[in-house]
């Protein structure tokens, strides 16, 4: 009896190990994530499960020692529940081949039938997520059925799953009795009722353990996917805060010029159309620095039309930096701040200077971008909290850099009242 229980416990451990190995395969996980699979994908799912079941069956047959390795019935049930009739049927056929070669002729019809039963369970699920919540604890399912009326359908489905898995094991037990243990391998022992009851419970847990293991891996992958979508949505929201702000300022410039200088207004509209075409064409979060510099030049040509000789622009861009990838619309909000808050209040205007260079960091090269102006500067109180105010250009830029680079970037703003402001961004090259 003790040896029999040890075999059953080893079987549970083997089921957990095989499920864990399969969950480490990205291809297998991708198949688990899809609820609607093509015929080819169902076959692939079947091959993945039946390969382990077939090998385990071969080990059992060839060694005649590792009896706990036989899990073809449970594997067929799992394939049917997860992939449907086709996956269950094929898994039952493929995994029974070693047993059929050994003369266990009832293996193929039994395992194929169990695979089809698994497909029936899948079809019965009103919500496919119910499949992943299967529990071998009958009392827990009954408690939920009574205690939570809103979840009665799901609880009832869990009970049906238990009954169907028990029915599959009962089919094996019945065939064993009818053919006196011939043509089919089982772990049943004659005249040992409790040992045979333990076999039933082992089958329940051998089906549920892989399901729970794969459900956990599947949920982790889904969570990662949702986090990526959240990051993309966050970036889109931050970009949408930048683009309208720039657009409205530009339209104000056109409005101020259209009566006094129509030719210059036409030039501004032309520059604006180029900028808008670029914004509509680009959906990537990154762009080469040369494109960003060209964008800044178009933007500043519009601003110079408004400020005239009061606004000057200088740039020191290293040739090696032009192909470096930078976040789209990274520099425009900072330069806009320099003009609006730094130079516009000065009667004599001033200069905006853009610099870009490469530096050797710790194990990698870093791209250093600097936007400096000689405007009115920022008082110390406002400077200390400039990155904490949402809606401000430099704050939006800082948040985008956090999303894109985590802790692998640096943004600093230094300023002296009456002397100007310098914003420095350092990112991986």
Same domain, 269 and 192: no
**227 found inside a domain:** no
Q: Are 73 and 81 in contact (CB under 8 A)?
A: no
State how many domains the chain has. Answer: 2
Q: Are 71 and 14 in contact (CB under 8 A)?
A: yes
Handedness of CA 383, 376, 424, 284 (dihedral sign): positive
Integer Cα distance of 283 and 130 in angstroms = 38
Same domain, 9 and 154: yes
Same domain, 163 and 32: yes
**296 found inside a domain:** yes
Last residue of a domain, one of 222, 240, 274: 222
Q: Is the pTM of this model over 0.85?
A: no
Q: Are 129 and 81 in contact (CB under 8 A)?
A: no
What CATH number did the domain enclosing 358 receive?
Answer: 3.30.565.10
**239 found inside a domain:** no
**237 found inside a domain:** no
Integer Cα distance of 50 and 98 in angstroms = 11
Same domain, 213 and 268: no
Chain center to CA of 120: 30
At 293, list the tokens. 């510099």
**229 found inside a domain:** no
At 159, list the tokens. 């009970």
Same domain, 150 and 294: no
pLDDT in tens, the chain (429 residues): 677 778 888 888 888 888 888 888 888 878 887 777 888 888 888 988 888 888 888 888 888 777 888 889 999 999 999 988 899 999 999 999 999 998 889 999 999 999 999 999 898 888 887 888 777 776 666 666 667 666 677 778 888 888 898 899 899 989 988 888 788 888 887 777 777 788 888 888 888 898 888 888 888 887 777 676 666 655 555 555 455 666 776 777 778 777 777 887 888 888 878 777 766 665 567 888 998 888 888 888 877 877 778 888 898 998 888 888 888 778 888 888 888 888 888 878 888 999 999 988 666 788 999 999 988 888 877 777 777 665 566 777 887 788 778 778 888 888 888 888 999 999 887
- Burial class of residue 26 in the structure, from the number of CB atoms within 10 Å of its CB (0-12 exposed, 13-18 middle, 19+ buried): exposed
Could you tell me which residues are beta bridge partners of residue 312? 351
Integer Cα distance of 428 and 303 in angstroms = 30
Residue 343 CB partners (closer than 8 Å, separation 6+): 307, 310, 311, 349, 350, 352, 373, 374, 375
* DSSP-based three-state secondary structure for 365: strand
**373 found inside a domain:** yes
Last residue of a domain, one of 196, 222, 248: 222
Same domain, 39 and 156: yes
Q: What pLDDT score does 267 carry?
A: 82
Same domain, 66 and 193: yes
Same domain, 210 and 276: no
Residue 16 CB partners (closer than 8 Å, separation 6+): 209, 210, 213
At 68, list the tokens. 């706990």
Same domain, 330 and 185: no
Q: What pLDDT score does 353 carry?
A: 92
Q: What is the DSSP letter of 338?
A: I
Q: What pLDDT score does 93 carry?
A: 93
CA dihedral 246, 251, 252, 254 (to 10 degrees): 130
Same domain, 191 and 273: no
**240 found inside a domain:** no
Helix (H) or strand (E) holding 125: none
Last residue of a domain, one of 177, 204, 222: 222
Same domain, 68 and 124: yes
Q: Could you report the per-residue pLDDT of 297-337, keeping only the tens digit for each?
A: 888 887 787 777 888 889 899 888 888 888 877 888 888 88
Integer Cα distance of 176 and 186 in angstroms = 7
**24 found inside a domain:** yes
Q: What pLDDT score does 354 carry?
A: 92
Where are any strands of DSSP class E within 269-375?
286-288, 311-317, 325-327, 350-360, 365-373
Same domain, 266 and 152: no
Please give the residue range of the domain that contains residue 115: 2-222
């Amino acid at each position: 009896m003790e040896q029999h229980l040890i075999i059953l416990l080893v079987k549970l451990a083997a089921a957990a190990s095989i499920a864990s190995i399969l969950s480490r395969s990205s291809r297998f996980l991708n198949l688990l994530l899809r609820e609607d699979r093509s015929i080819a994908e169902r076959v692939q799912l079947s091959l993945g499960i039946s390969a382990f079941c077939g090998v385990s069956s071969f080990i059992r047959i060839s060694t005649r020692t590792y009896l706990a390795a036989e899990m073809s019935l449970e594997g067929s049930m799992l394939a049917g529940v997860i992939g449907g009739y086709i996956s269950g049927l094929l898994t039952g056929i493929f995994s029974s081949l070693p047993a059929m070669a050994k003369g266990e002729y009832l293996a193929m019809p039994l395992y194929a039938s169990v695979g089809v039963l698994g497909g029936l369970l899948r079809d019965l699920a009103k919500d496919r997520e119910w499949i992943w919540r299967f529990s071998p604890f009958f009392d827990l399912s009954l408690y939920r059925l009574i205690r939570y009326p809103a979840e009665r359908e799901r609880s009832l489905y869990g009970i049906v799953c238990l009954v169907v898995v028990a029915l599959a094991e009962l089919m094996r037990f019945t065939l064993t009795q009818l053919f006196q243990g011939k043509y089919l391998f089982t772990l049943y022992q004659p005249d040992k009722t409790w040992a045979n009851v333990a076999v039933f419970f082992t089958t329940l847990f051998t089906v549920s353990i892989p399901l729970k293991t794969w459900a956990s891996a599947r949920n982790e992958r889904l969570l990662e996917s949702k986090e990526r979508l959240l990051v993309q949505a966050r970036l889109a929201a931050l970009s949408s805060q930048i683009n309208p702000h720039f657009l409205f300022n530009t339209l104000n410039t056109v409005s101020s010029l259209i009566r006094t200088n129509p030719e210059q207004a036409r030039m501004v509209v032309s520059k604006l159309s180029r900028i808008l075409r670029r914004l509509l064409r680009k959906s990537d979060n990154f762009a080469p620095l040369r494109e960003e510099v060209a964008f800044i030049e178009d933007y500043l040509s519009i601003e110079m039309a408004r400020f005239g000789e009061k606004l000057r622009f200088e740039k020191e861009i290293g040739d090696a930096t032009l192909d470096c990838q930078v976040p789209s619309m990274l520099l425009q909000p900072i330069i806009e701040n320099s003009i609006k808050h730094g130079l516009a209040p000065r009667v004599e205007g001033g200069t905006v200077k853009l610099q870009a260079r490469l530096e050797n960091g710790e194990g990698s090269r870093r791209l250093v971008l600097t936007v400096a102006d000689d405007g009115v500067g920022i008082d110390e109180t406002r400077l200390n909290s400039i990155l904490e105010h949402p809606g401000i250009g430099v704050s939006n830029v800082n948040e985008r850099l956090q999303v894109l680079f985590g802790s692998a970037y640096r943004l600093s703003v230094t300023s002296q009242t009456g002397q100007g402001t310098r914003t420095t961004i350092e990112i991986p090259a």
